[in-house]
Amino acid sequence: MKKIGALLLSVAAAGTLTASEYRYSITPMFGGVEPLNKELLDNGTSLGARLGYNIDESQTIELGYDFMDSIDYKNLVPGRDTDSHQITANYLYHFLEPESRIRPYLLAGLGVEDFTNNLGGLRDGLIGNLGLGLKMKVYKDLALRLEARDFIRYDDGGHTLAYTAGLMLPFGEIEKEAPAPATVKAEVPVKAPDSDNDGVADAEDRCPNTPRGVDVDLDGCPLDTDGDGVPDYKDECKGTPDGVKVDAKGCPIDSDHDGVADFMDKCPNSKTTIVDENGCALDSDQDGVADYLDKCPATPKDFKVDAQGCAVGFTMHVNFATNSAKIESKDTPYIDKLVKFMKEHPQTKVRLEGYTDSDGSAAYNLKLSAKRAEAVKKELISRGIEASRITTKAYGEENPVASNDTPEGKAQNRRVEAVLIPTRN
């Protein structure tokens, strides 16, 4: 039996179910048997059933049971008979299509047989069977099944023919694959003329002569991503802000050619290309005179300059107490800065101008202002500046820089100013 099962499994694995309508079938069978050994046994009847499994549209494996009833011992023991139980496993191969009304088939298989008694030397054992059959559809899925088989006993080589008929009932319906849709040959559309091959038909193309390979919009015109009026393929400055005027290359206009576009240029009429990020001429020493005009480009802070950027004065911030010409320590940094400048510019001379507030008489104030100018001169000389480069002038209470009506204003007027006299090459 194990060999029979292995055989059936190998057969099942070999096929693929593709067109059968049902997976399983069951068939009750009835008929007669005719032993070919007439000297021992006589004819009898057969009852049985078949349980089938469809491998594919042509192949089926089937498990069968047959009960052969009242097989007479013809000459051996008058009046005595024996029954036979047979279990078989068979392979069926069908001809014609499953949809055919009549389908013939062949079968072969192995099994075992068991007799109810063993008179005449009959013994239980292994059997084989070969046969042919016919399936005829009678109503919807029901089919009449006719079959003839030859059972061969392996023990003694005896043969028994069985003729049976039955009604086959299929079950376990299989969902059929939907037929592939019919291939419909699509009509090749007639392509509208497109002279410049930009993907927009001539009839709709508002820019019919676009160069090959240029990206276009739905109207067939070259793309202009930043909307500056210059198409992308010509635009050397993509991403120009909205509203900015551009040149033929799509770049913002720079009227003064200083490298800063007009829309960013805070000094749109610069006469030099040496400018800062705002388009304004550089003034490295921040004296108010642009570098390209500045003949004295390193003027220190707090020095007054002329139109050429050269120092002409220095706000000393040297102030004095009332009725005093003594220099206070808080003012020495300003003197230091003047000394440094004069040493770096040895051709420069200085005129020290002394002033007072309005307290006291004009004559007294004139003398006091002279003393203050001389005090600063002595300080410069003590720091290494030649006396020949220094002159003084007293102005008294003239030229106030603040109101003499307040103590704060008077303090600002008590001062010494330096006027530089550069010598230019």
What's the 3-state SS for the chain?
CHHHHHHHHHHHHHCCCCCCCEEEEEEEEEEEEEECCCCCECCEEEEEEEEEEECCCCEEEEEEEEEEEEEEECCCCCCCEEEEEEEEEEEEEECCCCCCCEEEEEEEEEEEEEECCCHHHCCCEEEEEEEEEEEEEEECCEEEEEEEEEEEECCCCCEEEEEEEEEEEEEEECCCCCCCCCCCCCCCCCCCCCCCCCCCCHHHCCCCCCCCCCCECCCCCECCCCCCCCCCCCCCCCCCCCCCCECCCCCECCCCCCCCCHHHCCCCCCCCCCECCCCCECCCCCCCCCCCCCCCCCCCCCEEECCCCCEEEEEEEEECCCCCCCCCHHHHHHHHHHHHHHHHCCCCEEEEEECCCCCCCHHHHHHHHHHHHHHHHHHHHHCCCCHHHEEEEECCCCCCCCCCCCHHHHHHHCEEEEEEECCCC
As a whole number of angstroms, the distance between CA 298 and CA 286 comes to 9
CATH numeric code, 2-173: 2.40.160.20
Look-up of token digits 């069908």: 94
Are β-strands 390-394 and 349-354 bridged in parallel, bridged antiparallel, or unpaired? parallel
Query: Where along the chain do its domains lie?
Result: 2-173, 215-251, 258-282, 303-421
What's the confidence (pLDDT) of residue 107?
Answer: 96
Rounded to an integer, what distance in angstroms lies between the CA atom of residue 41 and that of residue 84? 12
- Distance of CA 128 to CAs 107, 125, 150, 351, Å? 11, 10, 8, 143
User: What pLDDT shows up at residue 257?
Assistant: 78
Torsion of CA 231, 236, 238, 241, to 10 degrees: -100
Among 68, 50, 51, 52, smallest CA distance to 60 is for 52
- Confidence (pLDDT) at 139: 86
How confident is the model at residue 19, as a pLDDT? 39
**C-alpha–C-alpha distance, residues 19 and 100, integer Å:** 13
The three-point CA angle 35-38-40 to 5° equals: 90
Contact call for residues 106 and 131 (beta carbons, < 8 A): yes
For position 79, what pLDDT does the model report?
A: 53
Structure tokens belonging to residue 299: 């003027």
Q: Average pLDDT for consecutive 10-residue bins of the chain (425 residues)?
A: 44 41 90 74 84 92 86 56 86 90 94 77 84 91 92 84 93 73 68 78 80 82 83 82 83 80 76 72 72 72 71 72 90 90 89 94 94 95 95 95 94 90 63
Taking domain 303-421, whether its CATH number is 3.30.1330.60 is answered by yes
- Asked if residues 284 and 305 have their Cβ atoms less than 8 Å apart, the reply is no
pLDDT at residue 234, rounded to an integer:
80
For residue 393, the model assigns a pLDDT of 96
